[in-house]
Structure 1
Amino acid sequence: MKITSKGQVTIPQAVRERARLLPHSEVSFEVLPNGDVLLRAVKSAASPVRRAFERARGSANATGFKDMDSDAFMQWLRGPQP
């Protein structure tokens, strides 16, 4: 694998999948005392929108949503308001 003239490198798909790196994931680099470079996924606080999508993921066909109109679903998705 080569570094481009812009300093870019492609992370192989198998590595991205195993490390759960998605497009736009943030990563950090650390140079170890022996000169090896460690790439880490940055665990950032999820935005309110991301948290809402995570709560809703896989629930579109759930029976609890069958009789919900779009306004009720949006209220559920946004969660309790302060």
Structure 2
Amino acid sequence: MSTTLTSKGQVTIPKQIRDALNLAPGCTVDFAVNRDGDVVIHKVGACSSRQPDRFDVARGKADVKWRTDDLMALLRGEG
């Protein structure tokens, strides 16, 4: 499994590795190089809780039942 290094020195940890280490956003990881020159990644402790995404918090909260046509007409100033 391979990934590409960005110009900022960043890489995406492949999903299979994230799943195997139970990594989620907010987790701290440690990188090391072993005697053979292989890079080893370790999960450091428990993942910190991060602020919920503002859109996740708002999702499903609307109590106004708009029909798409009515909403589009309102947004276009057609009535």
In the superposition, the TM-score normalised over structure 1's length comes to: 0.50
Higher-Rg member (1/2): 2
Aligned-partner Cα distance in 2 for 1:32–1:39: 11
Please, which runs of 5 or more residues in structure 2 have no aligned partner?
50-79
Aligned-partner Cα distance in 2 for 1:21–1:42: 10
Please, which runs of 5 or more residues in structure 1 have no aligned partner?
51-82
Deviation by residue 1:21-64 (Cα, 9 ceiling, x = unmatched): 010100001111111010000015x88xx7xxxxxxxxxxxxxx
Tell me, what secondary structure is at the counterpart of 1:15? helix
1:35 aligns with 2:28: no
RMSD of Structure 2 on Structure 1 (CA): 2.1
Identity %: 43
What residue number does 1:62 align with? none
Shift of 1:19: 0.9
Q: What one-letter code is carried by the residue in structure 1 that aligns with 2:7?
A: S
Deviation by residue 1:51-82 (Cα, 9 ceiling, x = unmatched): xxxxxxxxxxxxxxxxxxxxxxxxxxxxxxxx
Number of residue pairs aligned between Structure 1 and Structure 2 = 47
Q: Where is the helix percentage greater, Structure 1 or Structure 2?
A: 1
Shift >4 Å, 4+ stretches: none
Alignment map for 1:1-82 (pairs within 5 Å)? 1-43=3-45
